[in-house]
A and B are shown apart, each in its own frame.
Chain A
């Protein structure tokens, strides 16, 4: 018995060392493998069902990435909000509202039914700035409601989701805003949305990793009380995070209206859910404190590949939604599993 007792802790320690040495695979890598897997699955199905390659078609890939760029821009803003432990349901509606406002300031002068006949043919920078500011203002309201009126993020942004859509409709009595200047629509032409998306991704990747802003964001999500006692002004920081989330939704609205050449109140419907899905699929934890921009970019690509792949296979849109819903739920299940494992080791 006595010899056993001295041996047991030894082996126990040994096991622990081995477990620690086992190289941890970063979340991004596993998500990337999922992306590759899905793409290859469509490739195989493509050859079987249509006798055609899914991946060897640059124009299809470009369209896919273009489609995802706008949701991707929103998703990056949503990612940092979810990292704080919050949520943003308003981004799709904010996109619509900013698209309307932006388009109304980017109309051509020879268009007789311009919203502001006196404000036509303006340089592209003006509608761009206006759109981004409108988005930021919506985010600021979200943040202020959450921080100072102490309303749960779900409710505050739900209110904004409904109201912003209403404002977008009321703005022109539901009429689309068209005939936009060429220099404005250039923003959304070609691969520009992709470039903007990637630029935003790089900026926020750096901001979350290497700036005080990012460090505070993670700290608040990990433990808001500890963050406060560590001297962080949690309320002010949350307002900032939501404002930036709104700003990115605004930017997405600018890009969307430039690409479509019009502003319409029905734009961006359900985009908020796609954005949240991209973040969650990318490994951002709804519990807060965990998440990366790289993961969200991959998450957005997964959604894009699925959309494009199903269209390529000619699968009905209803079935696409069913699978998309299942994937979102699966991503959350994986997140819960990861959390439980984290808590176990803690």
Chain B
């Protein structure tokens, strides 16, 4: 690896400001990136496009030194970098603006920007006056009008975003990484940001820009690299592409036959949702789900699909709208109530809201049914429960030495099966699955898909949220697509394809088409 090859000496190497070569990164059970490359020219904005899970963020974190790749290297000005942490990247000249904000709310703007680099006075104390002057100079350059002494907690999300950007610029880095910088900005602020970006571009800096918004890409980007399933697909100047082409590249897979969707008779409407809303999160969500039907919900991360699931299950009760089960209007204000009405929710984030990592497989599986049928005068009927859990373990083919094994020792796929088992034991009539196969291997995925089909065949109404379009397309009878808290359309199984979903998911097209 350390030896120089002829390729390293080719003259065009200096043409690139930043290069990523053959990057590979795996997490337990998942290959997040494989054989990925990226070439950024100086004085350009390079957009990264791809679906959720395509590997963009992983790649960015490698460049910013947050992840250490299993393989491959990062080169700046043609020189290979050794990045063992974010600080190494910063010192090499690579700064990243994170999607999630990393500011300290009770410190001033100036303190936040210059943290770890505070100017000191003669006796070694922080020179606040000079720090504020430095901040003002920086702001003048960027056209930002804010008082450096304001505490960050008083700023709006957009204001904080601007501070993050200013902070990244203050490092005078050669490469700036922006991960969806406009997600919290208004149109005017976006304009402002683009002015700053154009400035930086004129100074010969390289900007790596991640976004899901097509219009932005064509407004700001010089080059576009597309990723899919952790693989590099293609790179081209923006002029040679259009949004249809990009979407094609982003989704371009064949829909394989790994989705054993059975055609089952569709029954009566079980769940009917009208104008459901959660203030400032989503609104006007209306749909019906019938017995035996699988309703897919597609949309990008942040489109509100998970919030709809959580609201239906009473985790975050709705602020307006109505939910009817079997035609009867009902109120769901807690998960407990939702369960009484026959709902079950497999949550999106296994670790955060699903697993009891320190507890056993058995304790994880039995928790939702302790309420009904399995307790006698407060005592748990453990023997019956052991038996049922054992049966569920067999049914779902959970690979574990025993039910007493700590669930933390199981693979992601098996953990997921245990959680699915938890909910199947409640005999739900309406099963909401949020990313049922996220982060698990192909074999376990196929098993879970088969199981979902079987449940639908038994008359369970299934709502399935997924970021993987082939999964949504392969499993759903109908697909509801969301964008920024609104339903942008419904697609029937026959009409849906990856392109039609992506179009609805990435832009707020005309008012939603009336369903059914």
Contacts and interface: CB of A to CB of B under 8 A. Distances in A.
Interface string A213-229: 10110110011011111
Given A210-B380, A225-B352, A231-B339, A290 B366 contact: no
Interface in B363-380: 363, 366-368, 370-371, 375, 378-380
Contacts of B370: 212, 215-216
A218 B362 CA distance: 13
B347 A215 contact: no
Given A215-B380, A345-B408, A346-B408, A227 B359 contact: no
A223 B357 contact: yes
Contacts of B375: 211-212
Interface residues of A, number: 25
B380 A229 contact: no
Interface residues on B, range: 20 to 34
A230 B358 contact: no
Interface string B311-345: 00101000000000000000000111011000001
Given A210-B379, A215-B367, A342-B408, A226 B339 contact: no
Contact of B315 (A223, A228, A289, A342): A228
| Most chain A CB inside 10 Å of its own CB: which residue of B336, B358, B382, B409 | B358
A124 B408 CA distance: 50
| Most chain B CB inside 10 Å of its own CB: which residue of A225, A227, A230, A232 | A230
Main secondary structure of the interface of B (DSSP, over half): mixed
B358 A225 contact: no
A232 B354 CA distance: 13
A233 B335 CA distance: 9
Nearest to A214: B380
B366 A231 contact: no
Given A229-B345, A229-B347, A233-B336, A219 B358 contact: no
A289 B422 CA distance: 19
Nearest to A236: B336
A239 to B, nearest CB: 15
A20 interface: yes
A230 B315 contact: no
A342 B358 contact: yes
Contacts of A223: 353, 355-357
Contact of A226 (B353, B371, B382): B353
Given A223-B353, A229-B335, 4 more contacts: A210-B379, A219-B359, A222-B359, A231-B338
Interface of A: 20, 210-213, 215-216, 218-219, 222-223, 225-233, 289-290, 342, 345-346
12 contacts: A211-B375, A213-B378, A215-B367, A215-B380, A226-B353, A227-B367, A228-B335, A231-B338, A231-B368, A231-B371, A342-B408, A345-B409
Interface of B: 313, 315, 334-336, 338-339, 345, 347, 352-359, 363, 366-368, 370-371, 375, 378-380, 382, 401, 406, 408-409, 422
Sorted from nearest, which 7 A-B pairs have the closest CB atoms? A346-B408, A222-B356, A231-B339, A289-B358, A231-B336, A225-B353, A230-B367
